[in-house]
Chains A and B, each alone.
Chain A
Amino acid sequence: MPEASYPEDLLYHEEHDWARIDGDSATFGITWYAQDSLGEVVFFDPPSVGAELSQGQSYAEVESVKAVSDVIAPLSGKVLEVNEGLSQTPETVNQDPYGDGWLVKVQLSEPSETESLMNAADYQASLA
């Protein structure tokens, strides 16, 4: 995705991850800024389905040619689903970081944690 973009309907964590809330579950991914800094993503090392994630802790790794990055959980919960398609086409994370480039789907354990996340405007401001 060549142009920076930060969808309004998402919540953002300072470690450059986003969350899309859907009732008591959520989808996580990395932001445009994160994928741009990394460069072309070559590998996503996912957690297992059923793994427990804690807000602010690393739950996976994303690799580009020249760098490895921890992926930080924006919210706590249990992994319901992992984006299997990324093992074939990891570059989807660059092309569509908020859509097909999603990383995991999670059953939230502490929904009130959403209050600690930023909206799109605040996150974008934090990047300046």
Chain B
Amino acid sequence: MSRYTSVTNADLQEMLAEIGLDSVEALFADIPDRLRLNEPLALGGGRAEQEVYEELRGLAGANVSTEDEISFLGAGMYDHYIPALVDSILQRSEFLTPYTPYQPEISQGGLQAMFEYQTAISELTGLAVSNASVYEGPSAVGAAGYVAKLENGRRRFVVSEGVHPHSRQTLATMAHGWDVEVIEAGLADGRTELPALDDDVSAVIVQQPNFFGVVEDLEPIARAAHAAGALLIATCDPLPLALLKTPGECGADIAVGEGQSLGNRLDFGGPSFGFFAATDALLRRVPGRIAGETRDVDGRRGFVLTLQTREQHIRRERATSNICTAQALNALGGVIYLSWLGQAGIVDLVTLMLQRTAYARERLSRVEGVSLLHEQPVVREFAVRLEAPADRVAARCREQGINPGYPLGRDYPELADCLLIAITEQRTRTQIDRLADALGAAVAAERHPAGVSA
């Protein structure tokens, strides 16, 4: 008996007697002998809780986290401060351990939280309808593409090169099964340059701010897409939406994005959540769970999963998506965080990041061997060009306890000397100054190595 099961010998005897069998072995009589394992799985023995804890602690110790270095890494996930109340609420059994709310009468806590989350996302994106979450950012872009294809049946997506590489790759993987061609729109001076669109374009997909941190001008893109009869899908970094003209206002049909910055851990890339918002006209095509308001038999307000006929468990092969388990707990973290920031606070937070980013850009552009890749408006992230390979510069900075940002050469081979630098509210002026010094020293050392080790 392990610590998680409770069948004593006495229980076992009574239970077998009730079933009418002699042994546990007899329960598996249906399994052909040929398939039965004769040896234990090669997984080793079970361990006491403290031993498992020690092992997991050891593995954690072999990771350099944002507590161990000053990190300017961004590129889709960001080192924000998560207030203590998020964890204390998410760790409540009543939020952590229930199932999907198929029995709404005993799930009003979760369903109401979903409704509050949907309202917040609708406000951020300026679009009428939000669902209760999808897995994360890049697959949300894929899901949005699927909706566009179902909506207009056309066979081409035009995707900006400024869309996160992971989103473009995920879309390409998913679109392979839909017989949809994906073509890329390049960037000019950091902003999307749309080609002429014909009437076989299903959707235009851009990122806001784009992967290089640059704020796109969405309105003309929306006009061009609609003139061609295509949908505009905007994949957005949610916090900058506190200041930026919303995708809805700019004319986007669908806004999706990565929700990690909203109260969720970095967790080496997941779990987080993706948000998915759309115009009212697309309501019945939106994938995933949606919580809706209604009344009970006594007239009380209550919430239910609604429009379930879109979903796999009813519509099956004609569903708007195959999503079943989503990211309810992570989305709950999102709405708690947004409530904590509040209407005034989110503006303060993003304005702080905007000012510090401006300071960082200006400070770094004055460092010998460092120049800005673009001069376009940014909110909390920007790219610099170095006069040395970015990978090697980053390795030197890391030795000083500073992770200076993401070397872009991994995704854009022509930018192997460029870094993408993210500023969150946790990056102070002092840290930015240190970054400037470290970058300067690292670039200089790379250009004039003086017997340095490999």
For B284, B309, B314, B315, which residue has the most chain A Cβ atoms within 10 angstroms?
A: B309
Number of interface residues of B (CB under 8 A): 6
- A42 — which chain B residues lie within 8 A by C-beta? 309
A68 to B315, CA, bound (A): 6
Q: Once the chains are docked, how many angstroms separate the CA of A65 from the CA of B284?
A: 13
- Given A43-B309, A63-B309, does the pair A68, B284 have CB atoms closer than 8 Å? no
CA of A66 to CA of B308 in the docked complex: distance in angstroms? 7
Which of B284, B314, B315, B318 contacts A43 (CB under 8 A)?
B284
Which A residues are CB-close (under 8 A) to B309? 42-43, 63-68
Chain B window 258-301, contacts with chain A (Cβ cutoff 8 Å), 1 for yes, 0 for no: 00000000000000000000000000100000000000000000
Q: How far is the CA of A63 from the CA of B284 in the complex (A)?
A: 11
| Most chain B beta carbons < 10 A, residue from A43, A67, A68 | A68
In the bound complex, how far is the Cα of B315 from the Cα of A43, in angstroms?
Answer: 14
Whether B284 pairs with A67 at a CB distance below 8 angstroms is: no
Residues on the A chain within 8 Å of B318, using CB: 68
A residues 63-79 near B (Cβ < 8 Å) are 63-68
CB distance from A48 to the nearest CB of B (A): 14
Q: In B170-193, which residues have CB < 8 Å from any A CB? A: none
Per the bound structure, the CA–CA distance linking A64 and B307 in Å amounts to: 9
Q: How far is the CA of A68 from the CA of B312 in the complex (A)?
A: 11
A105 → B minimal CB distance (Å): 24
For B284, what are the chain A residues with a Cβ–Cβ distance below 8 Å? Answer: 43, 45
A49 to chain B, nearest CB (A): 19
Cβ of A68: which chain B residues have Cβ within 8 Å of it?
309, 314-315, 318
A43 to B318, CA, bound (A): 16
A45 vs B315: C-alpha distance in the bound complex, in angstroms? 14
Contact residues in B for A63 (Cβ distance below 8 Å) = 309
Task: Give the residue name and chain of the B residue nearest to A66 (CB).
Answer: B314
Instruction: List the A residue with the shortest CB-CB distance to B315.
Output: A68
Query: Complex formed: what's the CA distance from A66 to B309 in Å?
Result: 6
Q: What's the least CB distance linking A74 to chain B, in Å?
A: 22
A66 shortest CB reach to chain B, Å: 6
CA distance A40 to B409 in the complex (A): 57
A57 vs B315: C-alpha distance in the bound complex, in angstroms?
18
Chain B residues 139 to 169 lying within 8 A of chain A, measured CB to CB, are none
- CB neighbours of A65 from chain B (8 A): 308-309
Give A97 to B318 CA distance when docked, in angstroms. 26
A63 to B318, CA, bound (A): 13
In the bound assembly, the distance between CA atoms of A107 and B308 in angstroms comes to: 34
**Chain B residues whose C-beta falls within 8 Å of the C-beta of A43 in the assembled complex:** 284, 309
Which B-chain residue is minimally distant from A42 (CB atoms)? B309
In the complex, per-residue mask of A30-44: 1 if CB is within 8 Å of any chain B CB, else 0:
000000000000110
Task: Find the residue from A43, A63, A67 having the highest chain B CB count within 10 A.
Answer: A63
Shortest C-beta distance, A93 to chain B (Å), equals 15
CA distance A65 to B318 in the complex (A): 16
Minimal beta-carbon separation of A64 from chain B (angstroms): 8
Complex CA–CA separation, A68 to B318 (angstroms)? 10
Determine the chain A residues whose CB is within 8 A of the CB of B308 once the complex forms: 65-66
Residue of B nearest to A70 (CB): B318
Instruction: With CB as the reference atom, state the residue of chain B lying closest to A63.
Output: B309
Whole-angstrom distance between the alpha carbons of A65 and B313 in the complex? Answer: 12
In the bound assembly, the distance between CA atoms of A39 and B120 in angstroms comes to 33
Closest to B284 in A: A43
A63–B310 alpha-carbon span in the complex (Å): 10
Interface residues of B (CB under 8 A from A): 284, 308-309, 314-315, 318
User: Could you pull out 17 A-B pairs where Cβ atoms are within 8 angstroms?
Assistant: A42-B309, A43-B284, A43-B309, A45-B284, A63-B309, A64-B309, A65-B308, A65-B309, A66-B308, A66-B309, A66-B314, A67-B309, A67-B314, A68-B309, A68-B314, A68-B315, A68-B318
Query: Which A positions have Cβ atoms within 8 angstroms of B?
Result: 42-43, 45, 63-68
Nearest 10 A/B pairs, CB to CB: A63-B309, A68-B309, A68-B315, A68-B314, A67-B314, A66-B314, A65-B308, A67-B309, A43-B284, A68-B318
Interface contacts beyond A64-B309, A66-B309, A68-B318: sample of 7 additional A-B pairs, CB < 8 Å, sorted by A: A43-B284, A43-B309, A45-B284, A65-B309, A67-B309, A67-B314, A68-B314
